[in-house]
Structure formats: structure tokens, C-alpha cells
Amino acid sequence: MDQVYIPKNRFGLHPGSYVTIQAVAPPKAKETLFFYQVPDLEPIKQKIAQEVFSVIDQNVENYDNLILTGSFLEKGFHFNDLDLLLITSEKIETKLLERTMKNITGIPTQILIMSTKTLLYGLATDPLYQTMLSRCIAKKRLIYRYHRSINYKLLDLHLLGSEALTRECDLLDGQEKYKLARNMVAIYLFLRGKKVTFKSIDSEIQRRLRISSDEIKKNTIDKKAFRKTYQHLYDETFSLILNAAKSQQTHRVAHRKPS
């Protein structure tokens, strides 16, 4: 029979008292997550991130990876919601899961579900995917291999959204201006065959638009000068898309079998 010794000097227990000895489970170890380009995440955000991954584990049985991304990972508390990328081929009731997440964290949550195959296609053709995964927290290590492929129709559609900054510069706040500029520069870098990350985008904004990303976010810009440099880079990016489209069309004609 095992013996359990109780210290002689003990608070609240007198000699001859009956006690129950019960094993206490050790505290659950904190889950190790993979941080990508997230150097300074506030402690409260780290706690929320742990809760987010715990909620998914409790409600989703099988998935390949879970990625937390978006403005939540930026410094400060200027985010509006949580952006989650759930990599799985299973059918998941996202609305119910989003409500559960909000009830626990108190933060509105958007969950995007896709398979690994769809994610790889997105990374190969869409610079916004590359931007999204350049700064994130992942459940498992990110090891995705893909080859860049130009889908000029998709890129043209994305670039069209950034045109609003040339027409509605006075109506947009700093965060909206930055998002549109960031998307355009991401497309430009992608077409030039360069790495697309938040860091490379901010560096290119500084170089080509002659203004820092922080100045755009704070809306402390010379609007006239900004419009001029922005329009010039927009036109250059659009020309790159047109050249890619012409190149693909020429390639298809050259390889078409004669009738």
C-alpha cells in the first residue's frame, strides 16, 4: 500500500482528522505555436491567440493547419476582428464556429476555410495570399512549395479595387488609404517577381511613393504629391498586367495546333 505523508505543521488540520487524498492533474502545458514576422505581440493578444487555437481544437476534429492573420497581429489595438484561415477538406459550419469564438473571446471572427490545394494555388497566383501568410501565427509549421503563376485577370481585378484611392483620396481615412496602397504595391512586387511580404511592401511604398506607411496610416500626407506618385505607380502596375496578358496570348497562339 502506498503511503502519503502529511506535514506535522499544517494549517486547518488537527491530529486525528480524517482527510481525503486525491491526485491533482498537472496544469496543461501551453501549446507551442509558430510565429511568423510577429516580433512584439502584446501579452493580452498572446492570451487571446491561445484561446482561439484552443476553441478550434475543441470544435474541429480534423484539419491540416490553422492560421491567425490580419490586423490583429499589428502593433496596438486598432483591429476590428480576428481573421482565421482553417486549412481542411472537411465541411465546417463556419457561422456556428464564428459565434462560438466571439462568445469566448468577445471579438468578431471571420473564418475562411480552404483545402491545402486551394491555398497553394492562391499562394502561386495571388500576391494577397503571400502578404497574408508573411505575418501570421500558425498551429503547424508553414512549409508550402509553389511556383509563381500570373493570372492577369485576377490581378487586374485586385488592382481595380486600389483605383479608388486616386478618386476618393479625400474621403478615405489613413487605414483605408494604406490598405489600398499596400494591395497595389503587393501586385507590383508580384509582377516583378519579387518577394511579397509586409516588410517588402512597406519598403517599396517608402521608395516609390516617397512616404512611409505610418504616415499614410496616420493620414498625414501631402495629398497632391501623394496622388501624383500613386497614379504613376498605378499606371506602371497596370502596364505590367497588360504585358503579362499579351505575353500569355502570344504564347497560346504560338502553341496552337493548325486547323
pLDDT digits (tens, 9 = 90+) for 163-208: 999 888 889 999 999 999 999 999 999 999 999 999 999 999 999 9
The answer to whether 81 and 108 are in contact (CB under 8 A) is yes
Domains, the chain: 34-138 (3.30.460.10), 152-241 (no CATH)
Concatenating the DSSP letter of every residue in 179-216 gives: HHHHHHHHHHHHHTT----HHHHHHHHHHHSSS-HHHH
pTM over 0.85: no
The residue count for the chain: 259
The answer to whether 67 and 54 are in contact (CB under 8 A) is no
How many CB atoms sit inside 10 A of residue 77's CB?
10
Q: In this structure, what C-alpha cell is assigned to residue 70? A: 490580419
Q: For residue 224, which of 170, 146, 186, 187 has the smallest C-alpha distance?
A: 170
pLDDT digits (tens, 9 = 90+) for 80-100: 899 999 999 988 889 999 999
